[in-house]
Structures are given as C-alpha cells and as structure tokens.
Amino acid sequence: MTLKEKENIKILLQTDDAQLQLNLKNFLERKGCVVFEAGNRTEAVNLIEERKIDVVISDLRVSLWDVFALLKLIKSGDHRTELIILTALGGVDDASNLIKSGAFYYLTKPVNLTELQRLLEILLQRKELIAENVYLKKLIESAKIDIAFLPKTKLLEPENYTVGFSEKTKEYELLLIHTALEKTKGNKSAAARLLGITERHLRSRLERLGNPQKLKIV
C-alpha cells in the first residue's frame, strides 16, 4: 500500500526546526497526507483524541512536549496512534529506548524522505492488519453460528486468523458469511442477524469478497 492509495492519513508533525517542519509538511501533503500542527501540548492531545491522528512525527527533543510522556499518553488510550521519532545521531540511544517503550521507529536527521515514506507505508499496512484483525475477531465473537458446523480446515485454527487480513483471513470471513447465507437460504437480512452485523455491512463485505456460487442471494 502506498500513501497515495491510503487517502487522508492524518499526521501530527512537530519539530523545532522551522525549515524542516515546512519541508516535511510540504512533502507529506504532496503524498496525500493531512498534516496537523499543534501550538501547545494540550492542543496536541486534543488533536490525537478528536482527530484520531494516525501518526505523530516528532523531534526527540522538542520544546512543545516531552516525547516519553507523549508516548505514554498515546499508549495509555485507545488512540491507535503511532509515533515516529526524528533525532540527531547523538540521540539514537534515547530513540531506541522509545522504541522499546512502544514507539514505531526513528529516523536520524537530515531526514531521508524516501525512508520516511517507506516507514509510513509499512506502518499503514500494519494498522490496516490490526484494524481488520479486530473486525474479524468481533465478527467471529458475535456470529450466532456453531463453529463446529463449519468445514474442518486450517483456516479455523486461531494462529491462522490472527495475522490480519491475509488471504487466509479473507477466506475465513468469507466462510463465515457464506455459512450464514447457506443457513438462511441466501437471505441477506437473516444472515446479517446471524452474524451480528447490519445488512448494509454484509452487502459491503460481499462486494469486496465475492458472492457464493450456486446460491441465490436475496
């Protein structure tokens, strides 16, 4: 996945270098990102919580906040916000400690824009997998379908459906949906109730995953 393919990724950007701030902001916006800048720590916290910021890109040492405290705040909530640190070579040890505490990664200055883009794309892929994995688990937990009714397959083994929406997990979701449709003779409304989701959601997933063959869908 490229930044262009993922529209409107929201980034909170904060450095104490005005030129670096401008260069990074311009680069990220050209890549389709929505870039936010905070005037103080309170504003930064509000942006993270209210705007559901995807990524914070911050200098290791910045006047606006203590990066270690910011990381603790991010990880204490349900923000699903990631942190990328920018640091001079002398700050690599501190940046490594931040990674051990949950930061995504760090880049040394001067910032290599190609490397920054690569990091963001890796991060996006990980966030997509986590979000889809959470969705699939909720679907499995809410489905009013006896799992024993499903065909015996390696797809049912937990380690195979906790890795995100790989082909295996797509097949598992499809298997659940198709089973619900078979049990309701193709009635999407009834199948959605079995799965604990809305009919609109079911139709949306079928558009992405494909309709079952040899089954009349109503």
Q: What is the β-pairing status of strands 55-59 and 82-87?
A: parallel
Record: fold of 143-209: Arc Repressor Mutant, subunit A (1.10.10)
CA atoms within 13 A on the CB side of 146: 3
Res 210: pLDDT:
65
Distance, CA of 142 to CA of 202 (rounded, Å): 14
Q: If pLDDT is split at 50, 70 and 90, which confidence band does 26 have?
A: very high
Domain boundaries, the chain: 10-129, 143-209
pLDDT digits (tens, 9 = 90+) for 29-64: 999 899 999 988 888 888 888 888 999 999 988 887
Going by C-alpha positions, the residue among 53, 55, 48, 37 that lies closest to residue 123 is: 55
Q: Between residues 158 and 11, which one has the greater pLDDT?
A: 11
Q: Which CATH architecture has domain 10-129?
A: 3-Layer(aba) Sandwich (3.40)
Highest mean pLDDT among 85-89, 123-127, 147-151, 213-217: 85-89
Helix, strand, coil share of the chain (percent; to 5): 55, 10, 35
Whether 143-209 and 10-129 are alike in CATH topology: the answer is no
pLDDT at 192 over 90: no
Residue with tokens 């494909």: 210
Q: Between residues 156 and 201, which one has the greater pLDDT?
A: 201
Give backbone dihedrals phi and psi of 175, rounded to 5 degrees, phi first: -60, -45
Distance, CA of 145 to CA of 50 (rounded, Å): 36
pLDDT digits (tens, 9 = 90+) for 61-81: 888 788 888 888 888 776 678
Burial of 9 (0-12, 13-18, 19+ CB in 10 A): buried
pTM reported for the whole predicted model: 0.63
Going by C-alpha positions, the residue among 56, 6, 13 that lies closest to residue 35 is: 13
Residue with tokens 């995504």: 104
